[in-house]
Amino acid sequence: MTDYAEVRALMVQSALIPRGIRNNLVLEAMARVPREKFLPAELKSLAYEDTPLPIGGGQTISQPYIVAYMIEALALRGGEKVLEIGAGSGYAAAILGEICREVYAVERIGQLAEKAARNLLDLGYSNVHIRHGDGTHGWAEEAPFDAILVSAGAPDIPRDLLRQLAIGGRMIIPVGSSKTVQELIRVTRIDEDDFEREDLADVRFVPLIGST
């Protein structure tokens, strides 16, 4: 029988720390969350390979390094209120739930939203809330958010998400017109109408689909 805790610890030591992940909150969360619980049964043995894996509905669970990199780029200190767009089966939301006070995650595909909610409930994440809906509109009634993580590639940054970011807050989002490669962008809200944008890395995500 696989000792997933041991393999998970090895993943942190071999795939995250050597590639530059330094934030202890992120490393500790990655070491605690059981990625195998967010995968189909036939793929559990691959849970700690540093690769994306299919989770159904044409969607994937991101590779551990990318999840850690994006969450580290949010510069969380713990205790924040965070929005995730593109929850998938709930893995990144669980990582955020280890760090943040409250996590609100939106998933477009109903089957995956149900699966994510069940996975998170089974693991005791009472501070993570899942909604089935159009992620481009965010979760307006819970705004503003200290941070927003978008786990799908968008042709541009949805205006609703910009409006729901708190002043001083940060958003990480893959942006690009290509369906295969996007630029990972960090947006910081400086004040009511001023946003700072930084290019971080080239990435590849499934597309963000919505009305905006």
Question: Is 62 a catalytic site residue?
Answer: yes
Percentage helix, strand, coil for the chain under 3-state DSSP, each rounded to 5: 35, 30, 35
Catalytically annotated residue among 14, 45, 62, 89: 62
Each residue's pLDDT tens digit, 3-52: 899 999 999 999 999 999 999 999 999 999 999 999 999 999 999 999 99
CB atoms within 10 A of CB 196: 10
HSE-CB of 66 using CA atoms within 13 angstroms: 24
The pLDDT, as a whole number, for residue 179 is 63
pLDDT of 108 higher than 80: yes
Each residue's pLDDT tens digit, 154-205: 888 889 999 999 999 999 998 886 666 788 899 999 999 899 998 887 776 6
| pTM strictly above 0.85 | yes
Distances (CA, A) of 84 to 46, 105, 192: 24, 4, 21
Q: Rounded to whole angstroms, how far apart are CA atoms 182 and 174?
A: 6
The pLDDT, as a whole number, for residue 163 is 96
152-155-156-158 Cα dihedral, nearest 10 degrees: -50
* Domain covering 4-203, topology: Rossmann fold (3.40.50)
Residue ranges of domains in the chain: 4-203
* Residue 203 token pair: 């990435």
